[in-house]
Structure 1
Amino acid sequence: MKRAKRHTLDLEGVDTDPLSGMANLFDVAMVFAVALMVAMVINFRMTDMLTEDEVTIVKNPGRQDMEIVVKKGREITQYKGSEDAGQGKGRRIGVAYELEDGRIIYVPE
Structure 2
Amino acid sequence: MGKEIPADFFVTKLNEAKVHFERALDCKHTEFDDLYPYMIEHPQFFWYKRYVAWSELLTIVKLCNELEISWQEQFSHQQAEYIQKRVMSSKVLDYWFETNDSKEHVG
Q: TM-score range by the shorter chain?
A: under 0.3
Structure with more contact order per residue of length (Cα contacts < 8 Å, sep ≥ 6): 2
TM, length-normalised to structure 2:
0.27
TM, length-normalised to structure 1:
0.26
Return the index of the structure with the highest Cα Rg: 1
Going by fraction, where is strand more abundant, 1 or 2?
Answer: 1
